[in-house]
Structure 1
Amino acid sequence: MKWMIYGATGYTGELIVHHAKRMGYRPILAGRNKAKIEVLANRVDMPWRAFGLDDVDTIASQLEDVDLVVHCAGPFEDTAAPMLQACLRAKTHYLDITGEISVFELAHSLRKEADAAGIIICPGVGFDVIPTDCIAARLNAQMPNATHLTLGFDSSSRMSRGTALTGIRRLHLGGAVRENGDIKNVPLAFKTRRINFGDGEKLAMTIPWGDVATAFYSTGIPNIEVYVPASPNLVKRMQRMNWVRFAFKFSALRRQLEKKVSNAPAGPEQKERAANYTWVWGEARNAAGDVITIRQKVLNGYELTSRGAVELAIYILRNQLSPGYYTPSRLYGAKLIDRFLVD
């Protein structure tokens, strides 16, 4: 069966390509830039195609003989919609590595169309959101009457250039939580608390992580927040930024930040990825005030993404699964996180 990695020459896309090669697979490599795709494909001895994402009909024609696409070309708030529509037309399974709440919501809104087309739509098949989604599912299994779900992670790994650019693009929106079943935009560093993610108690702040969308579809828990460690100074800076963050939507300030990030390295090198694992944490609470907690130590986020994307692509291709919208834990089961644990 044929599958494709679109956005194969990006930082994370190329990590996925190399993991696929190590596992003995030969997906079709694709992207906008013909020269870059051809060079990479020749280097790893894989087939390739070059096409843009401006026209749904053109994309669909490139996917007619493709069973599944792993979409890695961001910013996903711009690229996911045309790729999703093309996958529906071509009847091609859709996976991506997004962490953008708006994209998760878009994908979920197309669940009936996916079912009718006989395809699976499963965004977030990387660090966004495999490990946190699996912890959410396990907490829900242990406490099915939970009303509040809090998730988080602690990693010293640097962000990739693409992740940083995505963060800048949504800076004007602030943070996000799910409250009584609805996603709510909130100020940056909306809440703080002290959390032991697994490496000692640390000050942490809320962030607009993808689980604000996906964990609700995995568990049905109506109140969801996601936290990461943050120094007191960073919390103060983020809270002060709330006074000016709306200016980032169109301002020259945003363009300056984007230019600075664009000149930075693509992402952490292999040695840095190997040295920087991630603690993933979750807490569920019910109306009676009972609390349960899970902590897991997993691979570096970019390593996890490269393996998770390939793992789920092959899982779909090798199994007869019901079509529709899925989160990673609903597709594979919460045991998926066990594939990425670190001793």
Structure 2
Amino acid sequence: MALRWMIYGAYGYSGELIARQAKQRGYSPVLAGRNADKLESLAEQLKLTFRDFSLQDVDQVKQELADVDLVVNCAGPFSQTAASLMHACIDSNTHYLDITGEIDVFEYAHQLAERAEQAGVVICPGVGFDVIPTDCVAARLNAQMPDATYLALGFDSGSRMSRGTAKTSVERLGQGGAARINGAIESVPLAWKSREIDFGHGAKMAMTIPWGDVSTAYYTTEIPNIEVFIPASPRLIKRLKRLNLVRFIFNWQWIQRKLKTKIDAKSAGPDAKERDNNPTYVWGEVSNAKGDTRQMRVKVKNGYSVTAEGAVELAIYTLEHSPKGGFYTPSRLYGAKLLDNYMID
């Protein structure tokens, strides 16, 4: 019997990109999600089958996964979907991948490592832009400096966020920043650190952000101190530092609803032309206790293009190679050579 896989949340911005990429490569995943009308419309366009179901009832989810070998979860915020779907996948012997960038989801997935290993199920969150390129850069830098004690990663792109990514950022705002310090993930202020970085096309001021690699890069490299940076103007950095005094208000539900309503009024995400015209520059730096330092810079496709292609690539790789069950990061699952698929001149 042919291996069967499913894209859950297929009608979202990234989910649809992944579904179209899968079809373009000749694969026929089952499209799934809560909204039957949206699923039917996309399924008709792509000539694929679909199933509509929510994730509220774990027993029902397990029934829907009974004949499915792998799920790619694209339904964010993943704080609301990942846990129940991971448990259902483990119970139904279905491999689980997702495209999250949420630190808490990565950490939760890692907690399920032993259960996943016993069930022979692969759990690999972050099979998109967050975190494929940065994870592979981290792995390659670690290979060059195995005694590294500090890792900094960063990226620069002119591409707009999708609605889902923007909503996830809003949810995180009230919690502040995050960094890994002496092996543990610690809460830090917004714009905690700033420095000038050349990501690959000129030096820019940059600031720390609570990006997924704060979690995943540790499991890839075991480097105990990890920070992630993006470009930010000095004005924005100052504004965010001042915002630390009142950032708790972003945890208020009515503030969250107001910000998310504004996000919903915008386009779903960058169109094909914008993706093609906005590559991503990825940078990494390691240092050891002696003060030795190494850096790496790569130019890769637009982040959403990496997500579409990477999710399909890792889904098919997992299905064809049947890795040992357990928790994986993208580079641990496929190897750091995965980065080569997305690098451009």
State the 1:256 CA deviation.
1.5
Q: String of CA shifts for 1:105-137, please: whole Å, max 9, x gaps.
A: 000000000011111000000001000000000
Structure 2 partner of 1:276 = 278
Q: What secondary structure does 1:248 align onto?
A: helix
> Amino acid of the residue matched to residue 88 of structure 1?
I
Q: String of CA shifts for 1:71-118, please: whole Å, max 9, x gaps.
A: 000110011011001001111000000000000000000000001111
**1:73-92 mapped onto 2 (5 Å cutoff):** 73-92=75-94
C-alpha root-mean-square deviation of aligned residues, in Å?
A: 0.7
Structure 1 partner of 2:39 = 37
Separation in structure 2 between the aligned mates of residue 175 and residue 320 of structure 1, nearest angstrom: 36
Q: What 5-or-longer segments of structure 2 have no aligned partner?
A: none
> Amino acid of the residue matched to residue 51 of structure 1?
F
Q: String of CA shifts for 1:136-170, please: whole Å, max 9, x gaps.
A: 00000000000000000000000001100000011
Separation in structure 2 between the aligned mates of residue 47 and residue 124 of structure 1, nearest angstrom: 25
Structure 1 partner of 2:159 = 157
State the 1:320 CA deviation.
3.0
Structure 2 partner of 1:102 = 104
Structure 2 partner of 1:238 = 240
Asked if 1:259 is matched to 2:261, the reply is yes
Separation in structure 1 between the aligned mates of residue 258 and residue 320 of structure 2, nearest angstrom: 46
Separation in structure 1 between the aligned mates of residue 258 and residue 52 of structure 2, nearest angstrom: 30
> Amino acid of the residue matched to residue 250 of structure 1?
W
Structure 1 partner of 2:5 = 3
Larger CA deviation: 16-25 vs 232-241: 232-241
Separation in structure 2 between the aligned mates of residue 320 and residue 249 of structure 1, nearest angstrom: 41
Structure 1 partner of 2:321 = 319
Q: String of CA shifts for 1:44-92, please: whole Å, max 9, x gaps.
A: 0001100001111111110010000000001100110110010011110
Structure 2 partner of 1:218 = 220
Structure 1 partner of 2:310 = 308
Q: What 5-or-longer segments of structure 1 have no aligned partner?
A: none
State the 1:251 CA deviation.
4.6
Q: String of CA shifts for 1:153-205, please: whole Å, max 9, x gaps.
A: 00000000110000001111000000000000110000000000001110000
> Amino acid of the residue matched to residue 224 of structure 1?
I
Separation in structure 1 between the aligned mates of residue 242 and residue 55 of structure 2, nearest angstrom: 38
Structure 1 partner of 2:148 = 146
Separation in structure 2 between the aligned mates of residue 21 and residue 296 of structure 1, nearest angstrom: 28
State the 1:37 CA deviation.
0.4
Query: Match for 1:121 among 115, 120, 123?
Result: 123
Structure 1 partner of 2:201 = 199
State the 1:19 CA deviation.
0.4
Number of residue pairs matched by the alignment: 343
Task: Report the TM-score, using the length of structure 2 for normalisation.
Answer: 0.99
Separation in structure 1 between the aligned mates of residue 238 and residue 265 of structure 2, nearest angstrom: 27
> Amino acid of the residue matched to residue 342 of structure 1?
I
> Amino acid of the residue matched to residue 288 of structure 2?
N
Structure 1 partner of 2:53 = 51
Larger CA deviation: 298-307 vs 230-239: 230-239
Structure 2 partner of 1:25 = 27
Structure 2 partner of 1:209 = 211
> Amino acid of the residue matched to residue 334 of structure 2?
Y
State the 1:217 CA deviation.
0.2
State the 1:39 CA deviation.
1.0
> Amino acid of the residue matched to residue 180 of structure 2?
R
Separation in structure 2 between the aligned mates of residue 320 and residue 34 of structure 1, nearest angstrom: 31
Structure 2 partner of 1:331 = 333
Separation in structure 2 between the aligned mates of residue 192 and residue 2 of structure 1, nearest angstrom: 46
Q: What secondary structure does 1:94 align onto?
A: strand
Q: What secondary structure does 2:159 align onto?
A: coil
Separation in structure 1 between the aligned mates of residue 293 and residue 85 of structure 2, nearest angstrom: 41
State the 1:254 CA deviation.
2.6
Q: Percent identity?
A: 61
Query: Match for 1:137 among 136, 139, 162?
Result: 139
Q: What secondary structure does 2:137 align onto?
A: helix
Task: Report the TM-score, using the length of structure 1 for normalisation.
Answer: 0.99
State the 1:252 CA deviation.
2.7
> Amino acid of the residue matched to residue 150 of structure 1?
A
Q: What secondary structure does 1:25 align onto?
A: coil
